[in-house]
A = this chain, B = another copy of it.
Amino acid sequence: MPEFDLINRIARVFGTSARPGDPGCVLGIGDDAALVELEDGWQLAVCVDTLVEGVHFGPDATAGAVGHKSLAVNLSDLAAMGADPAWFLLALTLPGDDPDWVDAFAGGMAGLAGDTGIVLAGGDTTSGPLGITVTAAGRVPRGQALTRAGAKPGDLVYVSGVTGRAALALRALQAGETPDREALAALHTPTPRLALGRALRGIASACIDISDGLAADLGHILECSDVGACLEVERLPSASCFDEMPNESRWSLQLGGGDDYELCFTVAADQAPTLDALQERLGILLTRIGSIRREPGLTVLRRNGKVFDPGIEGYQHFSPSAGGG
């Protein structure tokens, strides 16, 4: 399929949402570059993530799920910055000529784009091994972006939702078993926590999305903020998909397993009531799992005061050879 046809095909799936006149997007698909604007007093958060077949998704993933996830992982980065989705660019490398795959892929992506209000502003298509690179941009009021660098001793550590489900599904797939339905949805069609990220502006002292695993990603906050943390492992919320798993195994998955795209963030201790209200308002589970301290490093404790060793060193994606995030 010639490049021009492919671009038109994708644009058609996105429909009028890919057209000029959208908020922030002055000129969309069809020129050497897209033209975007930014209101005075706002900054743009920009991020890029690549998904490669065999590394970030396996042959079990449907084209629609691949489309959804390629955009979701970037929206999750915007959520972690507290940014409102604005526009994105799609760079698609395709091995062959499969219009049905392209339609389903674009459909999965367009569905999430429509739900979250982000606009396809442009892109590039080429032939080669299947890979998807999405560049996403979101708006945030100047100076209000959530970074990894603001956690202070005494702050509380929170996590949204339930972590470890994507890793549970991946483990089942790799063992040739049928994954739990809810766990598989967490792996293939994660929900970026955009409303939460936006609500945490002015509240969270640091924030990150969990792509590499809770322990590893909290580790990034600790490093950037030059602090340490202590987690209470029994506080990690569970879900029905873990019902038949021993606690120790679950905790390891929940601390080490990536690809959940929940948010991990820190707030000052006096913000606990705000978080309770936020949980109520957004309908998202927000769990206090520990606290920040001055001494560097991450310690995970049992309720009895003993150290819990999750036996992980950061989550690796689909393939053992993967390095990306």
Contacts and interface: CB of A to CB of B under 8 A. Distances in A.
Interface of A: 1-3, 6, 26-27, 30-38, 40, 43-50, 52-56, 77-78, 80-81, 83, 87, 89-91, 93-94, 121-129, 131, 133, 135, 137-138, 140, 142, 145, 147-149, 207-209, 224, 319, 321-325
6 contacts: A31-B224, A35-B81, A40-B40, A44-B44, A48-B124, A128-B131
Contacts of A127: 52, 55, 319, 321-324
A44 B38 contact: yes
Nearest to A79: B32
Contacts of A133: 48, 50, 91, 124, 133
Contacts of A323: 1-3, 6, 94, 125-127
Nearest to A26: B43
A42 to B, nearest CB: 9
A48 B123 contact: yes
A315 to B, nearest CB: 12
A133 B135 CA distance: 10
Nearest to A319: B127
Contacts of A149: 31
Q: How many copies does the complex hold?
A: 2
Return the 7 tightest CB-CB contacts between A and B, nearest first. A126-B324, A52-B128, A33-B47, A33-B45, A32-B80, A133-B133, A129-B129
A308 to B, nearest CB: 24
Contacts of A43: 26, 35-37
Nearest to A51: B126
A215 to B, nearest CB: 15
A87 B83 CA distance: 19
Contact of A91 (B30, B34, B44, B48): B48
A32 B131 contact: no
Contacts of A131: 93, 128-129, 131
A32 B124 contact: no
A135 B48 contact: yes
A250 B155 CA distance: 70
A35 B145 contact: yes
Nearest to A49: B124
Contacts of A49: 91, 124
Contacts of A126: 50, 52, 55-56, 322-325
